Amino acid sequence: MSSSVIVWLRRDLRLADQAAFSAAAAEGPVIPVYVLDDETAKHRRMGGASRWWVHHSLASLDADLRARGSRLILRRGKCHEVLAALRRETGARRVHCLAHYEPWWRNAEAAVARQLDLVRHDGNYLAPPGTITSGAGTPYRIFTPFWRTLSARMPPPMPRPAPASLPAPAHWPQSEALEDWALLPRAPDWAGGMRAEWTPGEAGAQARLAAFADHAARYAGERNFPAIAGTSRLSPHLHFGEVSPAAVWHRIAATARPSETFLGELGWRDYAQNVILQLPDYAATNGRPGFEALPWRTGPEAEDDLAAWQRGRTGYPIVDAGMRELWATGWMHNRVRMIAASFLIKHLLIDWRAGERWFWDTLVDADYGANAVNWQWSAGTGVDANLFFRIMAPLSQSAKFAAAPYIRRWVPELAGLGDDEIHDPPLRPHGYPQQLIGHAEGRARALAALAQARGQPA
């Protein structure tokens, strides 16, 4: 086994267009390894929804590997310690991986590189984070010039097919059992909605991409309507690397009427990684320091309001529908994400970081960069963000984007109401709460808090 090579897997759970596998297979027998490393991630360990997804994605990847004469080795612990132990066990001479840019993964890569011959490859983004810069060589913090520069470098390289087979070592190292990791919820099993909605794994990603490609031309016109299946729902597959962004780009660009709007959303994903590369603590620190003085609500009443928001009990049907969809399926429609985030931040005046952490635990696409960038955009605190005083009106947003069927699905208490009443029921059906705060009152409170942060009279 002295010529074996390790492929270290994290959020790159695929065989097609996977540079680490291609490079390793050219060198010798390949040992694919996934390390469950909660210690290095610390407080950024995967949330419950992500752990559910990873369980099924790893099972799918192992089946794909076995069909090619290989298998997936599972170990738990600190990555650098686990990989060093595997080198001693197997005599592997090199480790290949796809580069990751979350701060804990950058730390882990540095620790591995101090002990092993580590080769990092690109492949999780359209362009390697940090390479899209201005003419002066400085990284962008604003999306528009970033996207202009990135799009000028497109298309990305053509994706490579999955290998037909992988060379195996003479003897396999021991693997832990996936079931022993207890990634799935048991008591209670709250994942029924996710099982109905998602098929984690590379095959599931390809099926989702094929389905979206058939109506991608309608994306720009339909993506804001939560009752329509107008979005791609590719975000968890992209997050866990079950399909490469290059593969998505080329598939959509090759359609009869490619959606420039959707390709721009792929660019936003790259942009978010470039932000956290510059500002690693972006999920905890305001991008605009002036917002540190904003007087967020705290105490028992604010905690009760946060809990009501998490449960989908705010009294605003569009917000409640989104929060219940999130709890049931691990996903929320993007337009509704913006409405729900704005409501928490501005109507309830609760720190955006509380919402970011809730999404981190409950989203199947909980991506550190995208989650932080999107929450700071909604809060107005980010380096590129919506202005704080632009406060979404959830009732008018609900009507504007024809959310009535969406609300009926997720808020069954309101299913009997007509389209003219369901967005803001004049009489609350039994069991459905009153509004936590009126829109005008919430808006006035938010603007007063902004004035206080700026040192202005309320």
- Is the pLDDT assigned to residue 224 strictly greater than 80? yes
Run of H or E including 261:
helix 260-278
Mean pLDDT of the chain: 96
Cα end-to-end distance, the chain, whole Å? 72
pLDDT band at 456 (very low <50, low <70, confident <90, very high): confident
139-196 pLDDT tens trace: 999 999 999 999 999 999 999 999 999 999 999 999 999 999 999 999 999 999 999 9
pLDDT at 1: 43
Cβ atoms of residues 157 and 55 within 8 Å:
no
pLDDT band at 62 (very low <50, low <70, confident <90, very high): very high
pLDDT at 3: 83
- Residue 174, Cβ density class (10 Å: 0-12 exposed, 13-18 middle, ≥19 buried): exposed
For residues 1 and 107, the model is more confident at 107
Q: Please enumerate in sequence order all residues whose Cβ is within 8 A of that of 272, keeping only pairs 6 or more positions apart, or say none.
A: 367, 369, 370, 372, 373, 374
Mean pLDDT in residue range 24-49: 96
Encoded tokens for 361: 């635990």
Cβ atoms of residues 35 and 77 within 8 Å:
yes
Question: Which residues in 278-329 belong to E strands, given as ranges?
Answer: none
Mean pLDDT in residue range 373-384: 97
Lowest pLDDT segment from 16-20, 103-107, 433-437, 452-456 = 452-456
93-117 pLDDT tens trace: 899 999 999 999 999 999 999 999 9
Is 127-159+202-278 the same fold as 5-124? no
Q: Please enumerate in sequence order all residues whose Cβ is within 8 A of that of 338, keeping only pairs 6 or more positions apart, or say none.
A: 378, 392
Query: Can you name the residues that pair with 32 across neighbouring β-strands?
Result: 7
pLDDT at 196: 97
Cβ atoms of residues 50 and 36 within 8 Å:
no
Looking at the domain covering 5-124, what would its CATH class be?
Answer: alpha beta
pLDDT at 457: 59
Q: What CATH number matches the domain at 289-452, 1.10.579.10, 1.10.10.10, 1.10.1740.10, 2.30.31.10?
A: 1.10.579.10
Q: Please enumerate in sequence order all residues whose Cβ is within 8 A of that of 401, keeping only pairs 6 or more positions apart, or say none.
A: 224, 225, 226, 335
230-289 pLDDT tens trace: 999 999 999 999 999 999 999 999 998 999 999 999 999 999 999 999 999 999 999 999
Cβ atoms of residues 201 and 14 within 8 Å:
no
Give the DSSP letter of residue 343.
Answer: I
pTM: 0.97
CATH number of 127-159+202-278: 1.25.40.80
- What is the C-alpha separation between 312 and 60, in angstroms, rounded? 33
Is residue 30 classed as helix, strand or coil in its secondary structure? strand
Question: What does the domain layout of the chain look like in residue ranges?
Answer: 5-124, 127-159+202-278, 289-452
274-320 pLDDT tens trace: 999 999 999 999 999 999 999 999 999 999 999 999 999 999 999 99
Is residue 35 classed as helix, strand or coil in its secondary structure? strand
Q: Angle formed by the axes of helices 334-342 and 368-379, to 10°?
A: 50
In percent, how much of the chain has pLDDT > 90?
A: 97
